[in-house]
């Protein structure tokens, strides 16, 4: 038996209920997270989007029908309860509701795979398989609500600094970040790909808007099963005309500072939330050269030109936020500019948190001939980039930019260990659902 919503409406959220409402009739709505029966009294906890509400049904005070309905409800059933507010020192918000009417919108019959109020559940796959109820749990509620305020703070930062928000195609004709991690799809009668990054479009858009940003999905056919790689991630991309990578590093530092401030504010407003965003006051900068020497001195067998493995960074005890700049040119994508001082080095940087890369950026090549030659060196087809290359014939400004992985940023800001917990519905090498 399912009750219709009809004309029933919520009058109060849990956050509004307080002892001054004693004696008033209210209607609350939410999901059942606990049912306890003590003799002739049934205690039910309902959770709405702001928190828990206690409902207490006593024999002779409430009708048998209301008490029976409440007593048989299973976790996660969605309900409306109408009743009178009574003071209760031990209940959430200092009140409980003495019900006179219950609407059951959806009566759950299944036993859920985990308790609704569980704080930690060992197997992440168990949670991901039932993500819709996993996301209702408090630890995840805080990560995703913090994510929401971080996104808003970052958007406000960009808009307040004269950036224009852009949206670029996600179905594209050629690779931007190198060929290996591309998803190919059917596009009518042709092969196409899911965008690994908005790279080429954001560069072109500096020609018309100078300062642009995009917050959108990027797709990487990552073969790796790690707690830091996704097949679909959200990238916060920015690109700016008439600046270089040093200017972009200052800009990223500001973005991370406003994001961390937003989380600190969230912590202040929410009792019991323990996130401790890293210090953003002055983010140190190290060159690749400097760190590679330190890593070699620490006894690791790295060679100049190698990527800096997380284990090596841990070995030399790099902690908190820091930049690694002036990377070797070799592995960098074709659009990254070579340093004027040393042809082996690129004008590029990564922003790190401990051993996790949060962002990478660079000054871009702005000369069409150099781009063509870089594409050839990397074995990429120049013809596939003809539209992009032709843009460089119409006054491409010097420009630079970067991409910040939103999920990784949230991992750093909320001490989240597994990137899958910073995504509503993660996609990885083993997971295409739910």
| 338 lies in the site for ligand AMO, by CB under 6 A | no
In whole angstroms, what is the distance from residue 16 CA to residue 26 CA? 11
Closer Cβ to ligand AMO, 93 or 405, answer by number:
405
Residue nearest to ligand AMO (CB): 405
Q: Active-site residue 88, yes or no?
A: no
In whole angstroms, the minimum distance from the beta carbon of 404 to ligand AMO comes to 6
**Among positions 204, 359, 366, 414, the unique one binding ligand AMO when judged by CB under 6 A:** 359
In whole angstroms, what is the distance from residue 74 CA to residue 71 CA? 9
430 φ, ψ (degrees, to nearest 5)? -105, 0
The string of DSSP letters for 215-243 reads EEEEE-------SS--SEEEEEEEEEET-
Q: Active-site residue 240, yes or no?
A: no
Which range in 33-41, 102-110, 358-366, 384-392 contacts ligand AMO by CB under 6 A? 358-366
Which range in 73-81, 250-258, 314-322, 356-364 contacts ligand AMO by CB under 6 A? 356-364
Q: Active-site residue 229, yes or no?
A: yes
Q: Active-site residue 222, yes or no?
A: yes
Smallest CA-to-CA distance from 426 within 196, 128, 224 is with 128
Active-site pick, 12, 220, 353, 364: 220
Smallest CA-to-CA distance from 181 within 429, 432, 383 is with 429
In whole angstroms, the minimum distance from the beta carbon of 238 to ligand AMO comes to 8
Longest Cα–Cα distance of the chain, Å, equals 87
| 204 lies in the site for ligand AMO, by CB under 6 A | no
Query: What burial class does residue 379 get, using C-beta atoms within 10 Å of its C-beta: 0-12 exposed, 13-18 middle, 19+ buried?
Result: exposed
| 229 lies in the site for ligand AMO, by CB under 6 A | yes
Q: Active-site residue 167, yes or no?
A: no
Which range in 280-288, 310-318, 369-377, 399-407 contacts ligand AMO by CB under 6 A? 399-407
| 48 lies in the site for ligand AMO, by CB under 6 A | no
**The Cα angle at residue 51 between residues 50 and 57, in degrees rounded to 5:** 130
Token look-up 């409440």 returns 70
| 362 lies in the site for ligand AMO, by CB under 6 A | yes
Closer Cβ to ligand AMO, 116 or 403, answer by number:
403
In whole angstroms, the minimum distance from the beta carbon of 401 to ligand AMO comes to 5
Q: How many CA atoms, within 13 angstroms, populate the side-chain half-sphere of residue 376? A: 6
In whole angstroms, the minimum distance from the beta carbon of 226 to ligand AMO comes to 9
Active-site pick, 12, 76, 229, 353: 229
Q: Active-site residue 131, yes or no?
A: no
Smallest CA-to-CA distance from 333 within 372, 375, 287 is with 375
Active-site pick, 78, 82, 348, 360: 360
The string of DSSP letters for 154-212 reads HHHHHHHTT-EE----SEESS-SS-STTPPEEEETTEEEEE-S-SHHHHHHHHHHHSEE
Active-site pick, 210, 357, 373, 431: 357
Residue 154 near residue 215, CB atoms below 8 Å: yes
Residues of this chain, 231-290, that bind ligand AMO according to CB under 6 A? 233, 235, 237
356 φ, ψ (degrees, to nearest 5)? -105, 130
Sequence length of the chain is 434
Closer Cβ to ligand AMO, 29 or 412, answer by number:
412
Closer Cβ to ligand AMO, 113 or 179, answer by number:
179
* Total binding residues toward ligand AMO, as defined by CB under 6 A: 22
Which range in 140-148, 154-162, 230-238, 301-309 contacts ligand AMO by CB under 6 A? 230-238
| 203 lies in the site for ligand AMO, by CB under 6 A | no
Cβ atoms < 10 Å from Cβ of 284? 9
| 358 lies in the site for ligand AMO, by CB under 6 A | yes
Strand 321-325, strand 190-194: pairing: unpaired
Residues of this chain, 162-181, that bind ligand AMO according to CB under 6 A? 177
Q: Active-site residue 228, yes or no?
A: yes
Query: What burial class does residue 135 get, using C-beta atoms within 10 Å of its C-beta: 0-12 exposed, 13-18 middle, 19+ buried?
Result: middle
Smallest CA-to-CA distance from 134 within 158, 116, 147 is with 116
In whole angstroms, the minimum distance from the beta carbon of 365 to ligand AMO comes to 12
Closer Cβ to ligand AMO, 204 or 359, answer by number:
359
Alpha helices (H) in 238-298, listed in sequence order: 245-269, 288-297
Residues forming the site for ligand AMO (CB under 6 A):
177, 197, 199, 220, 222, 229-230, 233, 235, 237, 357-362, 401-403, 405, 407-408
Residues taking part in catalysis: 220, 222, 228-229, 357, 360, 408
């Amino acid at each position: 038996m399912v009750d219709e919503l009809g004309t029933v409406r919520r009058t109060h959220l849990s956050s509004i209920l307080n002892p001054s409402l004693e004696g008033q009739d209210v209607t609350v709505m939410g999901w059942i997270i606990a049912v306890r029966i003590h003799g002739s009294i049934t205690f039910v906890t309902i959770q709405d989007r702001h928190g828990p509400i206690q409902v207490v049904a006593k024999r002779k005070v409430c009708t048998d029908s209301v008490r029976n309905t409440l007593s048989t409800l299973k976790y996660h059933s969605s309900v409306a309860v109408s009743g009178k507010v009574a003071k209760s020192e031990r209940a959430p918000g200092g009140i409980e509701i003495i019900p006179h009417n219950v609407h059951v919108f959806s009566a759950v019959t299944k036993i859920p795979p985990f308790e609704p109020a569980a704080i930690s559940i060992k197997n992440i796959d168990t949670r991901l398989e039932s993500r819709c109820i996993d996301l209702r749990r408090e630890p995840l509620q805080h990560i995703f609500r913090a994510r929401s305020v971080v996104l808003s703070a970052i958007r406000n930062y960009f808009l307040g600094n004269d950036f224009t928000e852009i949206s670029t195609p996600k179905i594209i004709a050629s690779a931007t970040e190198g060929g290996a991690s591309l998803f190919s799809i059917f596009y009518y009668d042709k092969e196409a790909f899911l965008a690994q990054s908005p790279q080429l479009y954001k560069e072109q858009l500096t020609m018309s808007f100078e300062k642009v940003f995009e917050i959108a999905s990027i797709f990487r056919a990552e073969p790796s099963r790690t707690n830091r790689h996704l097949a679909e991630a959200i990238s916060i991309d920015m690109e700016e005309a008439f600046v270089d990578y040093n200017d972009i590093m200052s800009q990223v530092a500001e973005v991370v500072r406003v994001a961390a401030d937003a989380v600190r504010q969230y912590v202040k407003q929410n009792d019991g939330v323990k996130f401790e965003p890293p210090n953003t006051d002055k983010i140190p900068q190290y060159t690749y050269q400097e760190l590679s020497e330190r890593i070699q001195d620490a006894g690791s067998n790295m060679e100049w030109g190698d990527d800096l493995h997380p284990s090596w960074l841990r070995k030399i005890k790099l902690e908190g936020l820091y930049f690694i700049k002036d990377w070797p040119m070799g592995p960098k994508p074709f659009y990254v500019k070579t340093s004027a001082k040393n042809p082996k080095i690129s004008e590029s940087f990564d922003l790190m948190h401990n051993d996790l890369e949060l962002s990478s950026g660079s000054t871009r090549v702005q000369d069409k001939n150099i781009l063509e030659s870089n594409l050839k060196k990397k074995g990429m087809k120049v013809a596939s980039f003809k539209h992009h290359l032709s843009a460089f014939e119409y006054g491409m400004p010097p420009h630079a930019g970067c991409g910040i992985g939103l999920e990784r940023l949230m991992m750093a800001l909320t001490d989240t260990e597994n990137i899958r917990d910073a995504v509503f519905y993660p996609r990885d090498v083993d997971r295409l659902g739910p």
